[in-house]
């Protein structure tokens, strides 16, 4: 199982991620593409780390995620901040909506790396194409093939924090292009630590594989950027941003 107990410490462990910079970068993309964006559908929104800042900026944003636990954290944060956002518990491989003509569809921070089969990515891209308005924009990022196979793959990471300690062991399989991530967490509970474990699987996609599937869905205008820049993604890129227009 993924993002169950982990959901409740996710934000704590992501405290090194600059989500303001992320929102700023996405807004720069929207401006650069000259698209009028008022509404956004965010896939794999997690605990709402992008959803909430976009809502605060008055975008009409709807977040979906497969993990009810991640969404419960997101909803709690909205209550605390007095913000109203609709979050739906949906698997993005089985999108079920009655809304069309969307201005923007977003999927940030590895959402698509969690989709392991080409057919499922293809069906998401097909659905997103159908949901967007003409000239609507589809923005997403993935951990690059380089990052998953060389940097994270077959490596172990760990951190010993005040209240949380974790061990993160990764195994990359060249045949399936998949990383198995074994995560063990120890969270402090008074004098004791509680241990829980999760196994995550992420798929490493090569950019050309993604581009081929986007084209098959009908996207002809596709830009592929490197790590929060407007330079073309290359071999060294760790986070690849895809910007597509219908």
Ligand X SMILES: C[S@@+](CC[C@H](N)C(=O)[O-])C[C@H]1O[C@@H](n2cnc3c(N)ncnc32)[C@H](O)[C@@H]1O
Question: Of 61-69, 145-153, 165-173, 186-194, which part binds ligand X (CB under 6 A)?
Answer: 61-69
Question: Of 107-115, 185-193, 201-209, 219-227, which part binds ligand X (CB under 6 A)?
Answer: 107-115
Q: Which of residues 204-243 bind ligand X (CB under 6 A)?
A: none
Question: Of 45-53, 96-104, 142-150, 226-234, which part binds ligand X (CB under 6 A)?
Answer: 45-53
Q: Which is nearer to ligand X, 191 or 239 (CB)?
A: 239
Among 109, 152, 213, 214, binds ligand X (CB under 6 A): 109
Least Å from the CB of residue 190 to ligand X:
29
- Name the token pair of 220: 């002809």
Least Å from the CB of residue 181 to ligand X:
11
Question: What are the φ/ψ torsions at residue 83 (nearest 5 degrees)?
Answer: -115, 140
Closest alpha carbon to 149 in 176, 167, 117: 176
Interaction between residue 50 and ligand X (CB under 6 A): yes
Interaction between residue 93 and ligand X (CB under 6 A): yes
- Name the token pair of 174: 């060249």
Interaction between residue 108 and ligand X (CB under 6 A): yes
Among 3, 59, 125, 185, binds ligand X (CB under 6 A): 3
Q: Which is nearer to ligand X, 186 or 201 (CB)?
A: 201
Chain centroid to CA 55: 17
Side by side, which strands form the sheet with 156-160? Answer: 156-160, 164-173, 178-189, 192-203
What Å distances lie between residue 192 and 10, 63, 108, CA to CA?
A: 20, 36, 35
DSSP codes, 127-146: HHHHHEEEEEEEEEEEE-HH
């Amino acid at each position: 199982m993924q993002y169950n107990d982990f959901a409740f410490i996710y934000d704590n462990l992501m405290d090194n991620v600059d989500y303001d910079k992320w929102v700023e970068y996405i807004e720069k993309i929207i401006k650069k593409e000259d698209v009028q964006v008022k509404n956004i559908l965010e896939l794999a929104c997690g605990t709402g780390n992008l959803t909430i800042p976009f809502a605060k900026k008055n975008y009409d944003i709807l977040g979906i995620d497969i993990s009810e636990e991640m969404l419960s954290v997101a909803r709690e944060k909205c209550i605390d901040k007095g913000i109203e956002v609709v979050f739906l518990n949906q698997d993005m491989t089985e999108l079920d909506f009655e809304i069309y003509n969307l201005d923007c569809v977003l999927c940030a921070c590895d959402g698509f790396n969690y989709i392991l089969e080409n057919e499922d990515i293809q069906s998401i891209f097909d659905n997103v194409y159908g949901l967007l308005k003409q000239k609507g924009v589809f923005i997403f990022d993935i951990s690059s093939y380089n990052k998953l196979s060389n940097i994270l793959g077959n490596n172990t990471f760990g951190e010993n924090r005040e209240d949380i300690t974790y061990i993160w062991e990764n195994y990359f399989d060249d045949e399936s292009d998949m990383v198995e991530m074994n995560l063990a967490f120890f969270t402090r509970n008074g004098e004791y630590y509680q241990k829980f474990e999760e196994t995550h699987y992420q798929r490493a996609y090569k950019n050309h594989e993604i581009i081929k599937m986007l084209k098959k869905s009908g996207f002809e205008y596709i830009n592929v950027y490197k790590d929060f820049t407007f330079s073309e993604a290359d071999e060294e890129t760790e986070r690849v941003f895809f910007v597509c227009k219908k």
